[in-house]
Structure 1
Amino acid sequence: MRTRAHRGLLAAVTAVSAVVLPVVSAAPAGAAPDPRTLSQAVKAPAVKRHLQAFQEIAAAHGGTRAAGTPGYDASAGYVADRLREAGYRVTLQEFEFPFFREITETTMRRVAPSAKAYTRMTHFRVMTYSGSGSVTAAVRAVDVKLPPPATANGSTSGCEAADFAGFTPGDIALLQRGTCTFQVKAENAQAAGARGVIIFNEGQAGEGRADRRGLIGGALDGTTVNIPVVGTTFAVGKELSAPGTAVTLTTHTEGDPKRRTHNVLAESRWGDPDRVAMLGAHLDSVPEGPGINDNGSGSAGVLETAIQAGGLQTRNRLRFAFWGAEELGLLGSKHYVAGLSAAEKAGIRLYLNFDMIASPNHVFGIYDGDDSDRTGSPAGPAGSDKIEKLFESYFRTARQPYTGTDFTGRSDYGPFIAAGIPAGGLFTGAEGVKTAAEAAKFGGRAGVAYDKCYHEACDTIANISDKALRVNSGAIATAAFTYAYSPVLPGGSTRSGRAAAGGSGRAASGGGGLGHDHDHAGVPS
């Protein structure tokens, strides 16, 4: 028996399609609805209404939807309610994580040899999971290399306890980015008696590496460091390395090593449970803002697609995920994948990730599943190339330009490709700067960030490109409905049964494409 939602989608067959879906191993005539027409049921205004709901939730909860806050819980409640209304079995998958926020804004000013105030989020920013404290002390450079090294691994400042030989306890340690994680550097400094840590960007890039002169926006791995830790630009770090420099550094933060949050998971009631097409987006924002582009946009596109697919009797099982604590190091998706059995992993034939799909100065980025650009990160697991080609076909028939973007491992596809599950998705750019060639191809402004409000309070509903939202929402729907009915999926054969997912199983790393997706905890500095 067909539900009202199913009948409504079938009625869309008579509509004029705005985008013609490429031929992708379609089922026999009459066996299933046409994905080309079903995709038209996902309308941009409906997606925008979800974004407005996220904006209102953030406004009612201190301007943020960060994991572990009431704003995130309200966002998850909104998504879960809409999914239940659409007929899904919804699971709230709980997990524990180390929570962090700034209670009051961090300050840093130089007091010697002359006074100078530094601007938060321009010259410096607090590291996630920094401890609290206020200290006025001499700045002591630790194994700092000026000019910066151009070696493959870069600076090793603070990576070894021996770097702190002769360090005066009570001073503030000045460390240079490179080689080991921020956590290792900060822990070594704390063990040496430092009362504060300043980690500055490495400097001019070495050959084949990204420019490392701007503001660091990183994180420690947890709440084990109880002294102030901030990141700065290369220019500020170089300035502070001068002999006789002293600063006042003040942080007031909150950390909870065992706070709980949850992923929102929805499973369709139809389709082969051994042939799962999974779509996901992270639902949390950073503490600094409402996160409407990052990543209300991806969440809204996936949510509306799920709603419109709710009543369909599909060939394959659809599963939708809204991840928690992505901004703290992909914690929600890592927890989910780590809890899967080998058979459950094999049953997920593909994972599609949508993180920032409406950047105001956007490009249309498709994850480079086959490493066709031969730069940066390697190809995804076997089958990822087929996902990339489906999205390319969509953009060609929509007469929209597109470009490849690397699997850097810095969004929620990371745990899936590490498990050998074919993956793909879309990305419109974060804090990276649009080139002149990209401006000529996609429009917008060269020399300006793809999203000037990335991880800022201004990432509001006003920070959304309606065009990018519309085009990418159509791409999400097209992929979802194609894989819902296709007898051939990227991660398996046409037969039912659990076939092993292909691919190398390696976690991708490195740079390329549109720059990294995000800065997260646990990523080497």
Structure 2
Amino acid sequence: MPRIFRRVRTGRVIAATAAVPLVLSLGLAGAAYADPGAPPERQLAESVQAPNIKRHLEAFQNIANANGGNRAAGTPGYDASRDYVAEKLRRAGYQVTLQKFDFPFFQERSTAVMEQISPEPKTYRPTPPGGSQLGDFATLTYSGSGNPTATVQGVDLVLPPSPEPSSTSGCEAQDFAGFKSGNIALLQRGTCPFADKARNAQAAGASGVIIFNEGQPGRTDTFTGTLGGPGVTVPVVGTSFAVGEDLASPANTVVRLKTDTESTTRTTHNVLAETKRGNADKVVMAGAHLDSVVSGPGINDNGSGSAGLLEVALRMAAFQPQNKVRFAWWGAEELGLLGSEHYVANLPEADRNKLRLYLNFDMIGSPNYAFKIYDGSEGGPAGSAEIEKNFARYFDMLRIPHVPTPFDGRSDYGPFIAVGIPAGGLFTGAEGIKTPEEQQMFGGEAGKAYDPCYHSPCDTIANINDRALAVNTGAIAYSVATYAFSADPPSRATTKSAATQRGKDQMYHGGLIK
């Protein structure tokens, strides 16, 4: 089925949203429609113009085209994206800082191979680099390289699986007692990190590692995952439960497993911009990750959030906020929220206490979109529910439906809520499937991914829904200005949310860790 696009041909954002009442257009109008007597949140929202947002996306696309098709952290494409954003901000009068950090870079240089040689010849479908469409198996992030053909040996498997996730397959070194060096270790997903399983297998002499999903409902499909960083030198892949069960029996199954990867340490930057005016004891922060995956240009993920935030920051430069506003474009999000993790970890406690809230914008223009607001009442620190309500207020004023989305640890709000900083933000969906109820609310296609080009080469400027991008950029402006001019914005809690921390411990945007 064709994707749904609403192209902005001329003029201002209102051209993309004719169904919205004019009197309630707010961020869908252009500067010519702004009411100088309106509250600042309405003025900022009304100053946002669709053509400017699209020009930023076109710049990101051109950068990717000129640099190997991607804007991944640690590559020339990211550096050019960084410089584009920083230069725009400097010209607007911001104090711009490039925060340097080292990070573990990873890429698949070619598509992996897994095939059963005997007793039954069989070729398994690989997941393309980036994990956009899952095959029968997927290379885990930070897997080593290799091309072994060897006997598969199961390690402490539970077949059939227990009713609840509980497998400790490969979690302890003693699980490999009796393991024959040179074999490919067959392990079951369970309760410990994939990295523990892989390192134990490698120490036991395994020439490769296959980790299959555990088998309970919701844990049967092929999964993408991460080993957390370099250190494992043999191939490591994840498979579905069905593939793992097939390999576990009969005995003496021989498999060829080939991966061709690069795991190195590289340097990248976060881009930080701060208003010169405003109360430095009440800092309002908003961010979006600037990097793409290696496998594509990342125009929706997350050129969309980066472009929307940049345009809001440029329009904000004409205002004199009551509170200091800090904008951030994060590096290396796709490898585990590394830029935002670095920022929060290196922020002195006194400065953390001045940071009143964090707003996050990741994938705000998905072609089969739903308008999703992070659910601050579930899993967010105190103050997060207030942020959610403020976003909802904006959509309600525009008479646009919206739904909550959980804090699942998959984007850059994670490090902030882990230290008790109130957070919120917007999202239009990634590889998840749109429901019939959402189709009724937002249009598009039920049963299809929100973004069929997620983490793929086709995540180009043609992958953007202009209406979603425009509405959400207006919401960014409205929310940033609300707190920039608030006498009492939400404040940092003293304790972290246990529910949110569990989500962060178990999942990164780049993949599961266990």
> Is TM (by shorter chain) over 0.5?
yes
- Structure 1 distance, partners of 2:466, 2:241, is 36
1:247 aligns with 2:255: yes
CA offsets per residue over residues 173-203 of structure 1, 9 Å max, x none? Answer: 1112121111111001101110001112222
Q: Check conservation: 2:408, 2:503, Cα contact below 8 A.
A: yes
CA offsets per residue over residues 150-173 of structure 1, 9 Å max, x none? Answer: 22x432221112222211111111
Aligned length: 476
Gaps of 5+ in 1: 1-15, 22-29, 206-210, 372-377, 492-500
Give the CA deviation at 1:144. 2.2
Which is worse superposed, 475-484 or 114-123? Answer: 114-123
CA offsets per residue over residues 335-359 of structure 1, 9 Å max, x none? Answer: 1011111110011111000111112
Q: Check conservation: 2:280, 2:323, Cα contact below 8 A.
A: yes
RMSD over aligned Cα atoms: 2.1
Residues 366 and 33 of structure 1: CA distance in aligned 2, closer, same or farther (over 3 Å): closer
Gaps of 5+ in 2: 1-21, 28-35, 128-134
1:149 aligns with 2:140: no
Give the CA deviation at 1:33. 5.8
- Structure 2 distance, partners of 1:144, 1:362, is 40
- Structure 2 distance, partners of 1:198, 1:35, is 52
1:280 aligns with 2:287: yes
Equivalences for 1:81-480 in 2 at 5 Å?
Answer: 81-121=87-127, 122-151=135-164, 153-205=165-217, 211-243=218-250, 244-256=252-264, 258-371=265-378, 378=379, 380-480=380-480
- Structure 1 distance, partners of 2:501, 2:447, is 26
Moved over 6 A (4+): none
1:481 aligns with 2:487: no
Give the CA deviation at 1:114. 2.1
Which is worse superposed, 155-164 or 331-340? Answer: 155-164
Matched AA of 1:164: F
Give the CA deviation at 1:17. 5.6
Give the CA deviation at 1:18. 4.4
- Structure 2 distance, partners of 1:335, 1:32, is 39
- Structure 1 distance, partners of 2:41, 2:115, is 59
Which is worse superposed, 360-369 or 229-238? Answer: 229-238
- Structure 1 distance, partners of 2:79, 2:244, is 38
Q: Check conservation: 1:431, 1:450, Cα contact below 8 A.
A: yes
Q: Check conservation: 2:98, 2:270, Cα contact below 8 A.
A: yes
Residues 318 and 454 of structure 1: CA distance in aligned 2, closer, same or farther (over 3 Å): same
Q: Which residue pairs with 1:24 in the alignment?
A: none
Q: Check conservation: 2:144, 2:234, Cα contact below 8 A.
A: yes
Matched AA of 1:248: R
- Structure 1 distance, partners of 2:367, 2:26, is 26
- Structure 1 distance, partners of 2:123, 2:63, is 35
1:250 match: secondary structure: strand
1:186 match: secondary structure: helix
Give the CA deviation at 1:517. 7.3
Residues 307 and 441 of structure 1: CA distance in aligned 2, closer, same or farther (over 3 Å): same
Residues 509 and 484 of structure 1: CA distance in aligned 2, closer, same or farther (over 3 Å): same
Aligned-residue identity in percent: 59
Give the CA deviation at 1:471. 1.2
- Structure 1 distance, partners of 2:105, 2:223, is 20
Instruction: Select the residue among 485, 488, 495 that pairs with 1:504.
Output: 495
Q: Check conservation: 2:227, 2:513, Cα contact below 8 A.
A: no
Residues 197 and 155 of structure 1: CA distance in aligned 2, closer, same or farther (over 3 Å): same
- Structure 2 distance, partners of 1:141, 1:192, is 13
Residues 146 and 441 of structure 1: CA distance in aligned 2, closer, same or farther (over 3 Å): farther
